[in-house]
Structure 1
Amino acid sequence: MRAIYLIARREFLSYVATWGFWLSLASVPMFMALGIGMPILIENSQPTRYYVLVDETGGTLEAALEAQAEASRAEALERAREAAREMFGNNPQIEAALASQPQFSDERYLRVDVGETELEALRPYLTGGASFTAADGEHGLFAAIFLRQGADGAIEVDYWSTNLSDSNLRSQIRNSLRGHMRTQFLVDAGVNPQLIETANDLSPTVRELNAGRTGDTAEVTDADKIPLFVSLFTALGLWVIIFSVVNMLLSAMIEEKGNKILEMMLASTRHHEILTGKLLGVAAVSATLLVVWGGMGLLGTVGMQQVAASADMPIAEILAAVLNPGLLLPALGYFIIGYLMYGALFLAIGSLCETLQDAQTLMTPMMLIMMVPIFLVMMAFESPDSPVVAIASWVPLWTPFIMLARLPHEVGMVEILGTTAAMFAFAAFVIWGSGVLFRMGALNQANQDTVKGWFSLGGKKKPAEG
């Protein structure tokens, strides 16, 4: 036991005593914040697009375009307000923030008048050969739009621009004119315009109800959906941690074998003590990750309480979902079993290889196996009763991630117990087999060519170098 403790202690300190470990520890929350904030930053940093609109009908289509665009913005704002009321209640600050958002008062595209209405005169502004003066300096034109209407009433739009990727303005023009054409068609058919407006405002009231409940508790609220998102992020977080720590095991194992450190350890300890010590040491590293990230999350939650109180966010429901023993205990169990399975496998692979280049052949199928749960977890979130997800839950290497994502969806007890039993049995087999491979690799009785020879059909097996 002392040898196992010393190896585990050495393995743990070799990581946590370095600046790189703590920098990488802090990088995950930082990248998560960047992932959330970067789209917002990109959206808010978009340059203003200036365009010219030429209505060859004398202003009829221009007026219709402005009316339809205003109606669309008002409708989008009302939908956002309704969603905000359902989630945060009646909050004047949130409604004011919604009204000021660019997508409702679209300031990304501004119409200007450069004193020209002919295409050839406008072309230099579109291609960078000429510019006009705006409030913030000199600019070229993003687009020139020509509206015309034929004798048969058909509307044509010529959209001139050198930007081939940004289609938002073109879509806005098309959708607004489409609404105008439909309304005008009904008016020409004798329908009262007021009646058309009333018809457009008609919308059903939809309530989502849980068939497993009765009475007032049957209605599904956002608080009921919080556990679904918590389980999803827990499953993805579990995958990230396991993926990170098993790569630590692999790299350290290959480095120690290449530097003959493993041989010196074998001179004083048994191979199973080395295997167990390394697994426990890196498990302590992963526990450090969980404690630090959990502490950051707790501090973030405390810091958000004031904001949550003013916005009427369901902070109590979020904390209840995160701290629910029905999720925490399975997550802990799935992490331990998943870590032992993958950790033992990666240690065995590392013991067979002298360099990282040697490990590439064996690592490729393992990486593919580890990538599959990412897609299956997302599928389990959307369709927990999918036959593909149900079958994949019985694959022991994927069980920890998929079942964790499926737990809030009331999975049958038989399936939970069955997949867990299969996972335990397979984990025991993997740990035993990895121990055998680790001993063979550590004693140079096998290498990566030995493993490839097991799966080759008919080829002559290359003997391990002594």
Structure 2
Amino acid sequence: MRNILLIFRRDYLGYVKAWGFWLSLAAVPLLMIIGAALAGFAAQSSPVRYFAVVEPGSIYANAIEAEFQRREQADAERTSEIVEQLDLPAMGEDDARAAAEGAGVANRKFIAVPAPAESIDGLRPYLLGEKTVSGPLGDKPLFAALILAEDGSELEYWSDDVNVDQLRYLAQDAMLRLARRDALTEAGLDEDFLQTVDDAAFAVPARRIRTVEEQDAAGNEVTMADRAPMFVAGGLAYFLWLMVFSIIQYLLMGTIEERSNKIFDTLLTSVKLPELLAGKLLAVFAVTSTMMLSWGLFAFAGGTVVATQIPGVGNIIEPFAAALANPAIIVPGLISFILGYIMYGMIFMALGSLCDTIQEAQTLLSPMMILLMLPMFAIFIAFQDPGSPLVDIASWIPFFTPFLLILRMPHDPPLWEVLAQMGLMAAFALLILWLSTKVYRAGAVHGAGIGDMGGMLKRMVGLKGKAA
């Protein structure tokens, strides 16, 4: 045990003492903060653009303005729902709706101005920026013009910028609503007829079937407490995948460096090969755990700040904390986590022992990436439909079991399946451990390379005699 700890201490300190480790550690939260700040700045700093509608009257201009107001009202209603869910004491529902509507008008990025000309030839210098038009925010070039075609069949959208399409899409929605309103009017129906019909439709609330005792205690409405276990399980599965993905660099690069510098010969004079492997695997696990723990503390600190600034956020976090503390999820999750890490870690360490240079390691990266992307696809499918037959079958494949078993736990799979898949995982991890030790010994001690892998595998299964 002492030798394992010595190897662990040597490798772990070798990683964490490097400046590059701490720079990469700080880069993720720093980039997240910068990205969020840039996204917010981009949204706020997006320029306000002028547009004009050229038509004999104001029917289409009014329809576009009504579409702007409809969307701002929808945003206000969503804000009111959030206020109601969070139970904010400082702002009532009506105040929140009024504030959201006012913010929508103030933040509008497209403002209608009177058309400075009646034809596209007359509007050309304004659209090309050669002339400006007057508006609420001063003189600006005309960003776009919507011109009614001569035959009255189209509302043509003219602009020099072919990439910003928000205004054109909004105008399309406005024309669709206008056509519906006209059709209702011609049929002798009120223009709010469709909305009245929609409002009269039956709601379809989500209910969860429970036992009588559970229903008396918790009710039958589907709440975030019902959905939180699946989100927590998905987070644990993705966390395992991210940690496995992160160990490739450390295991490959560290093993290649020690092989090329003949450090293995020195180490193996003092410790046994199983102790060396255990110490190295534990060190890399500690390195990646340090990274994940640091990012987790950053997320926790950020969540705490948000929770203190916005009352009611704690009520949203509580179901996730309860799901994370549920033994039915966390115990199988931890077992899958440990066995999956050992299995993938030993595979990467064994392959790294066969490489002398970075170039040789790069030939292994593509199959490794494919091997890692397959569980990611399986996680996505299981998160969308955990009861899929494909997920049931894939959960018995040892390379997928660590991830999919975690995702199946919120849906209470049969106990015998859970125990059987844990046993299968453990047996396969032991097999990988045995094979990887053989490969590692051949590569690190006897100098075998990638080209010798086929012969080694044949000797391991007894096709060419006993292994060396």
TM-score interval, normalised by the smaller of the two chains: 0.7 to 0.9
Q: Which moved more, 1:178-187 or 1:93-102?
A: 93-102
- Find the aligned partners of 1:34 and 1:227 in 2 and give their Cα distance: 31
Query: Structure 1 127/85 Cα, relative in aligned 2: closer, same or farther at 3 Å?
Result: same
The offset of 1:40, in angstroms, is: 4.1
The CA distance in 1 between the partners of 2:149 and 2:242, in whole Å, is: 56
Letter in 2 for 1:27: A
What letter corresponds to residue 398 of structure 1 in structure 2? F
Moved more, 88-97 or 348-357: 88-97
Compared CA separation, residues 101 and 335, structure 1 to 2 (3 A): farther
Quick one: which of 192, 196, 199 aligns to 2:197? 199
Q: Secondary structure at the match of 1:329?
A: helix
In the other structure, the counterpart of 1:67 is 66
**Aligned equivalent of 2:461:** none
Aligned pair partner of 1:160 in 158, 162, 179: 158
Percent of aligned pairs with the same residue?
36
CA distance in structure 2 between the aligned counterparts of 1:37 and 1:453, rounded to whole angstroms? 55
CA contact (8 A) 1:9 1:281 kept: yes
**Counterpart residue number, 2:50:** 50
* Distance in 1 between residues matched to 2:99 and 2:236, nearest whole Å: 31
**Corresponding residue SS for 2:302:** helix
Identify which of 280, 295, 306 aligns with 1:304: 306
Letter aligned with residue 154 of structure 2:
E
* Aligned 8 A contact 1:308 1:315 in 2: no
Could you report, residue by residue, the CA deviation over 1:139-161 in whole angstroms, capped at 9, with x for unpaired residues? 333211113585xxx74210112
In the TM superposition, residue 406 of structure 1 has moved relative to its aligned partner by: 3.0
Q: RMSD of aligned C-alpha atoms? A: 3.0
Residue 7 in structure 1 maps to residue 7 in structure 2: yes
Corresponding residue of 1:245: 247
Alignment of 1:66-465 (within 5 A): 66-82=65-81, 85-86=84-85, 88=87, 91-92=91-92, 95=97, 98-100=100-102, 102=104, 107-113=108-114, 115-132=116-133, 139-147=140-148, 150=151, 155-193=153-191, 195=193, 198-214=196-212, 215=215, 217-309=219-311, 313-451=315-453
How far apart, CA to CA, are the structure 1 residues paired with 2:22 and 2:235? 22
Distance in 1 (CA, whole Å) between partners of 2:48 and 2:270 is 70
Partner Cα separation in structure 1 for residue 99 and residue 237 of structure 2? 33
Work out the number of aligned pairs and report it: 451
Q: 1:74 is paired with a residue of what secondary structure?
A: helix
Question: How far apart in 2 are the matches of 1:194 and 1:299?
Answer: 49
Provide the rounded CA distance (Å) in 1 between the counterparts of 2:315 and 2:284: 38
Distance in 2 between the 1:207 and 1:122 partners? 52
C-alpha contact 2:86 2:311 (8 A) present in aligned 1: no
Contact 2:73–2:101 at 8 Å: present in 1 too? Answer: no
Task: Give CA-to-partner distance per residue, 1:240-296, whole Å, 9 cap, x none.
Answer: 122112321111111111122222223333322221221122222233334433433
How far, CA to CA, are the matches of 1:213 and 1:125 in structure 2? 69
Do the aligned residues in 2 keep the contact of 1:88 with 1:312 (CA within 8 Å)?
A: no
CA deviation map 1:73-132 (0-9, x unaligned):
324533553365346578537656644554x77612112235222211212232333334
TM-aligned CA distance change 1:308 to 1:14, over 3 Å: same
After superposition, what is the alpha-carbon deviation per residue over 1:199-241, rounded to whole angstroms, capped at 9, x for unaligned?
3544433311112355452110123222222222222222212
Q: Indicate the larger mover: 27-36 or 407-416.
A: 27-36
Cα contact 2:116–2:123 (8 A) shared by 1: no
| Most deviating of 154-163 and 197-206 | 197-206
Q: 1:371 to 1:261 in 2, by over 3 A?
A: same
1:57-79 CA-to-partner distances (Å, cap 9, x unmatched) read x2233233333442343245335
Letter in 1 for 2:63: A
What CA distance in whole angstroms lies between the structure 2 residues aligned with 1:371 and 1:196? 47
CA distances 1:147-182 after superposition (whole Å, capped 9, x unpaired): 3585xxx74210112322322211111111111111
Distance 1:155 1:410, change over 3 A: farther
- Helix, strand or coil at the partner of 1:191: coil
The alpha carbon displacement at 1:413 in A equals 2.5
Judged with a 3 Å threshold, the aligned counterparts in structure 2 of structure 1 residues 421 and 335 are, in CA distance, closer, same or farther, namely same
In structure 2, distance between residues paired with 1:148 and 1:105 = 32
Query: Secondary structure, in 3 states, of the residue corresponding to 2:154?
Result: strand
Cα drift, residue 9 of structure 1: 0.9
Question: Which region of structure 1 is more displaced relative to structure 2, 274-283 or 297-306?
Answer: 297-306
When residues 430 and 194 of structure 1 are mapped into structure 2, their CA distance, relative to the original with a 3 A threshold, is: closer
Matched residue type, 1:64: A
* CA positional deviation for 1:424: 1.1
Distance across 1 between alignment mates of 2:201 and 2:358: 61
Moved more, 71-80 or 14-23: 71-80
Distance 1:367 1:443 in 2: 27
Secondary structure, aligned partner of 2:311: helix
Moved more, 407-416 or 1-10: 407-416
C-alpha distance in structure 2 between counterparts of 1:126 and 1:59, whole Å: 21
Partner AA of 1:192 in structure 2: D
Aligned AA for 1:439?
A: R
Q: Structure 1 regions of 5+ residues with no counterpart? A: 457-466
Q: After TM superposition, give the deviation of residue 188 of structure 1 in Å.
A: 0.8
Q: Is the 8 A contact 2:116 2:133 kept in 1?
A: no
Measured in 2, the distance between the counterparts of 1:123 and 1:223 equals 58
Task: Say if 1:21 and 1:199 are closer, same or farther in 2 by CA, change over 3 A.
Answer: same
Residue 21 (structure 1) shift: 2.0
* 178-187 or 155-164, which deviates more: 155-164
How far apart, CA to CA, are the structure 2 residues paired with 1:449 and 1:427? Answer: 25
